[in-house]
Amino acid sequence: MSVALEARRLLRKNRFGMLATLSKKFGGHPFGSITPYILDHDARPVILISTLAEHTKNIENDSRVSLLVTEAGNNVQAEARITVLGNCARMQDQEQVKTRYLRYFPNASGYFDTHDFFFYRIAPMMIRYIGGFGEIHWIEAESFTAPENKLAAQEEGILAHMNQDHAQNLRDYCRHYQGKKVKKAEMVGIDCDGFDARADGELLRFEFETPVLDAMQARAALVKMAKESKSPD
C-alpha cells in the first residue's frame, strides 16, 4: 500500500478534526477549533460552518488553513495522524454536497434553518502524515488526491441498490470485518477507496483492497467482500 493511500484511508475513516485558521481579530495568530467533515470524491475535506463563527471570519480574510485528524487511542503520540495544509473556500454549488453530508450527519439538517451555514472545501496543498513512531512523511497534493473516477455520479444509484437489495450483505460485512452483529445496516457513502455504513446508529468504515474507479469495479469488490463475509449455513 502506498503512503498516500494509507494517509487517505486515515482521513476517510474519521469524521472530526482540529481546524486551524489565521485569526483576523488577533493579527494572524493561529486559531484552533473542532469541526466535523466529510471528504468529496477527490479526497478534499468539506466542512459546514456558520458565517457567524470565528473560524469562518478568519477563512474569509485568509484562506490558508490546516486540518489535523488523529486516531483515538491511549497513547496519542504513537497513533497515526494527518495534517492537511491547504486553502479553504466556500463551495459554489451548495446543494451538490448537502445530500451527501446529511447522510453522514443527519442531525445537521436543522442548521440550514438559520440560513447562515455554508459548505466550505479545503483544497490540499501538502499533507503531513505520521503513520506511527518514526513513520513520518510529507505527501504532495497530487499524490494524495484520489484517482480520477466516476463514483460521484454513480454513488446514489449504488447506495439505493445496496440498501434495497443487499441489506443482509451489509449486516454480514459488519459481522465479518468489524466484529459487530447488527440488526440494521445502511450504506451512506461509497468512494474509490471503500464505503461507509451506518450500523445500528454507528458509522463504520470499510476499505476496498485496491481503489475502484466506477460502479462495475465497485460491484466486483462488494461481491468479493460478500463471498468472504457470508455466514456459514
Over residues 181-197, the mean pLDDT reads 97
Domain span including residue 221? 151-228
Over residues 70-83, the mean pLDDT reads 82
Residue in the block written with cell 460521484 = 152
- Whole-angstrom CA distances from 196 to 38, 72, 103, 226 are 11, 18, 10, 15
Angstrom distance (rounded) from CA 177 to CA 168? 14
The strand pairing partners of 130, in sequence order, are 81, 136
- Whole-angstrom CA distances from 20 to 5, 52, 230 are 24, 17, 44
Does residue 33 sit in the same domain as residue 132? yes
Does residue 156 sit in the same domain as residue 138? no
Domain boundary (102, 121, 144) is at 144
User: Residue 73's pLDDT is what?
Assistant: 67
Residue in the block written with cell 446514489 = 156
Angstrom distance (rounded) from CA 125 to CA 139? 9
Q: What's the CATH number where 42 sits?
A: 2.30.110.10
Whether the pLDDT of residue 119 is over 90: the answer is yes
CB contact at 8 A, 20 and 30: yes
Over residues 189-194, the mean pLDDT reads 98
CB contact at 8 A, 121 and 89: yes
Angstrom distance (rounded) from CA 34 to CA 19? 6
Digit-coded pLDDT (tens) for 17-42: 999 999 999 999 999 999 999 999 99
> In this predicted structure, which of 93-97, 144-148, 154-158, 223-227 has the lowest mean pLDDT?
93-97
Residue among 175, 219, 217 at smallest CA distance from 197: 175
Question: Which of the four pLDDT bands, split at 50, 70 and 90, describes residue 93?
Answer: confident
User: Residue 129's pLDDT is what?
Assistant: 97
Does residue 7 sit in the same domain as residue 108? yes
CB contact at 8 A, 165 and 157: no
Number of independent structural domains in the chain: 2
User: 153: Cβ–Cβ under 8 A, 6 or more apart, which residues?
Assistant: none
Does residue 181 sit in the same domain as residue 204? yes
Whether the pLDDT of residue 90 is over 80: the answer is yes
Q: What is the mean pLDDT of the chain?
A: 94
Does residue 140 sit in the same domain as residue 165? no
Predicted structure pTM score: 0.93
Whether the pLDDT of residue 77 is over 90: the answer is no
Domain boundary (144, 166, 193) is at 144
Domain boundary (128, 144, 160) is at 144
User: Residue 114's pLDDT is what?
Assistant: 75
| 233 inside domain | no
Q: What's the CATH number where 214 sits?
A: 3.20.180.10
Does residue 107 sit in the same domain as residue 218? no
Does residue 30 sit in the same domain as residue 80? yes
Helix residue ranges, H only, the chain? 3-13, 54-61, 94-104, 141-144, 151-165, 167-178, 215-229
